[in-house]
């Protein structure tokens, strides 16, 4: 059995090194605390070619931005970056023990979770291959570049109704119900009044850039397709630690206080795992918030 003395000790362990995790780690590094970042480099936006909506980084490669962020963080001598997945975590009297895939154990009195979420994509032929390229979940990240063209909204559930109305700011909208969601009479009236076209045939596949083939043989040529996919936690660590969850419109998220602390004292969380919405700007902001709050809380304990 591990003891605190047999483990590698840090002041903070940040689990997840994408944008939220990097932002949290940066605050803690600058507070001159000993920080371990555990990350295997699997970001939610890894399929996208360009990043939008983050001042100073507009239109740049998400890969390059993440690599530069990592380089800036590990330049601090009090930070260690471990390219391994955190496979388990448990609470002890003094803090938390986190174990890497290699079996190495680490101890810290405080943990910041930034492990993110994974998208459960609809089983439509051709969709996964175009995810992040011409099929998207976030209009704020990718809507502008469609130049007010023809935009499809592929329904997963009733969230598609609100998404279809919102997408009108970015182009001409076709709502593809795909047998997953049927608007009621009032919703159909609103959609029609706003100019949204409703297509009720099942979607067989997606070809070319974002052309939708329907089960009656018709094809709808689109400039882009949006889908409010359901999400799931990308890591079991939060559940292992006993963090409380709530069910959101598109999947579970971790409950946090105003200071980003979870239901488990000493465990903070940030990024896509704590709220609906997948923009990098939101992730960076919540990561900074969690890092600052974690440091302040540790100073008071």
- 17 and 146 share one domain: no
Least confident of 1-5, 187-191, 201-205, 284-288: 1-5
Looking at residue 131, the DSSP 8-state letter turns out to be: B
47-59 average pLDDT score? 92
Give the integer Cα–Cα distance in Å for 69 and 252.
28
Mark which of 161, 193, 226 sits at the end of a domain: 226
What Rg value do the Cα atoms of the chain yield, rounded? 21
Give the integer Cα–Cα distance in Å for 251 and 297.
29
What is the residue range of 180's domain?
Answer: 122-226
- 97 and 235 share one domain: yes
Q: What does DSSP say about strands 172-176 and 150-154: parallel, antiparallel, or unpaired?
A: parallel
> In total, how many domains does the chain have?
2
pLDDT of residue 1: 47
pLDDT of residue 299: 86
Tokens read off for 87: 């496979």
In which residue are the tokens 């840090």 written? 10
What CATH number does residue 68 fall under?
3.50.50.60
Instruction: Report percent pLDDT > 90 for the chain.
Output: 92
| H/E run at residue 63 | helix 62-74
Give the integer Cα–Cα distance in Å for 105 and 110.
15
- 52 and 63 share one domain: yes
- 143 and 187 share one domain: yes
pLDDT of residue 269: 99
pLDDT tier at 130 (50, 70, 90 boundaries)? very high
pLDDT of residue 75: 98
Mark which of 194, 226, 258 sits at the end of a domain: 226
Q: Which residue has the higher pLDDT, 5 or 284?
A: 284
- 101 and 249 share one domain: yes
- 219 and 245 share one domain: no
pLDDT tier at 2 (50, 70, 90 boundaries)? low
- 13 and 78 share one domain: yes
- 236 and 156 share one domain: no
Is the predicted pLDDT of residue 3 greater than 70, yes or no? no
- 104 and 202 share one domain: no
Is the predicted pLDDT of residue 5 greater than 80, yes or no? no
Tokens read off for 164: 């279809």
pLDDT tier at 202 (50, 70, 90 boundaries)? very high
Q: What is the 3-state secondary structure (H, E, C) of 198-257?
A: EECCCEEEEECCCEEEECCCCEECCCEEECCCEEEECCCHHHHHCCCEEECCCCEEECCC
Other C-beta atoms within 10 Å of 226: how many?
26
Interacting residues of 90 by C-beta distance below 8 A, sequence separation 6+? 96, 97, 240, 241
Is the predicted pLDDT of residue 250 greater than 60, yes or no? yes
Is the predicted pLDDT of residue 222 greater than 90, yes or no? yes
Least confident of 24-33, 90-99, 227-236, 277-286: 277-286
- 132 and 221 share one domain: yes
- 69 and 216 share one domain: no
267 CB-contact burial (10 Å; exposed 0-12 / middle 13-18 / buried 19+): buried
In which residue are the tokens 């290699």 written? 102
Give the integer Cα–Cα distance in Å for 171 and 119.
25
pLDDT tier at 278 (50, 70, 90 boundaries)? confident
> Tens of pLDDT along 139-176?
999 999 999 999 999 999 999 999 999 999 999 999 99
Q: Phi and psi of 189, rounded to 5°? A: -65, -45
Longest Cα–Cα distance of the chain, Å, equals 68
Mark which of 192, 226, 260 sits at the end of a domain: 226
129 CB-contact burial (10 Å; exposed 0-12 / middle 13-18 / buried 19+): exposed
86-91 average pLDDT score? 98
- Ordered alpha helix ranges (H), 86-148: 127-130, 139-142
Residue 210 · residue 188 · CB < 8 Å: no
- 65 and 148 share one domain: no
Is the predicted pLDDT of residue 45 greater than 90, yes or no? no
Give the integer Cα–Cα distance in Å for 43 and 61.
13
pLDDT of residue 275: 86
pLDDT of residue 276: 77
CA distances from 159 to 153, 184, 253 (A): 10, 13, 17
Interacting residues of 8 by C-beta distance below 8 A, sequence separation 6+? 36, 104, 105, 106, 107
Give the integer Cα–Cα distance in Å for 116 and 128.
19
- Give me the chain's average pLDDT, please: 95
CA distances from 245 to 181, 262, 263, 275 (A): 26, 9, 9, 11
């Amino acid at each position: 059995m591990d003891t605190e003395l047999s483990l590698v000790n840090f002041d903070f362990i940040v689990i997840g090194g994408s944008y939220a995790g990097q932002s949290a780690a940066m605050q803690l590094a600058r507070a001159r605390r000993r920080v371990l970042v555990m990350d295997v480099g699997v970001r939610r936006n890894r399929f996208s070619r360009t990043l939008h909506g983050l001042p100073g980084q507009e239109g740049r490669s998400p890969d390059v931005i993440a690599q530069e962020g990592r380089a800036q963080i590990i330049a601090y001598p009090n930070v260690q970056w471990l390219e391994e997945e955190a496979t388990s975590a448990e609470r002890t009297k003094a803090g938390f023990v986190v174990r890497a895939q290699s079996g190495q154990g680490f101890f810290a009195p405080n943990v910041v979770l930034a492990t993110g979420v994974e998208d459960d994509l609809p089983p439509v032929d051709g969709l996964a291959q175009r995810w992040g390229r011409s099929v998207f979940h976030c209009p704020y990240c990718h809507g502008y570049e469609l130049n007010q063209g023809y935009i499809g909204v592929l329904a997963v559930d009733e969230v598609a109704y609100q998404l279809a109305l919102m997408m009108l700011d970015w182009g001409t909208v076709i709502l593809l119900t795909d047998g997953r969601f049927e608007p009621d009479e009032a919703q159909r009236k609103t959609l029609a009044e706003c100019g949204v076209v409703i297509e009720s045939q099942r979607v067989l596949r997606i070809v070319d850039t974002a052309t939708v083939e329907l089960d009656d043989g018709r094809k709808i040529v689109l400039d882009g397709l949006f889908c409010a996919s359901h999400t799931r936690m990308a890591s079991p660590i939060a559940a292992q630690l006993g963090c409380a969850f709530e069910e959101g419109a598109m999947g579970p998220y971790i409950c946090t206080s105003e200071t980003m602390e979870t239901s488990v004292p000493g465990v903070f969380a940030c990024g896509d795992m704590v709220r609906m919405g997948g923009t990098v700007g939101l992730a960076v902001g919540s990561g900074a918030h969690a890092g600052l709050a974690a440091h302040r809380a540790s100073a008071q304990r």
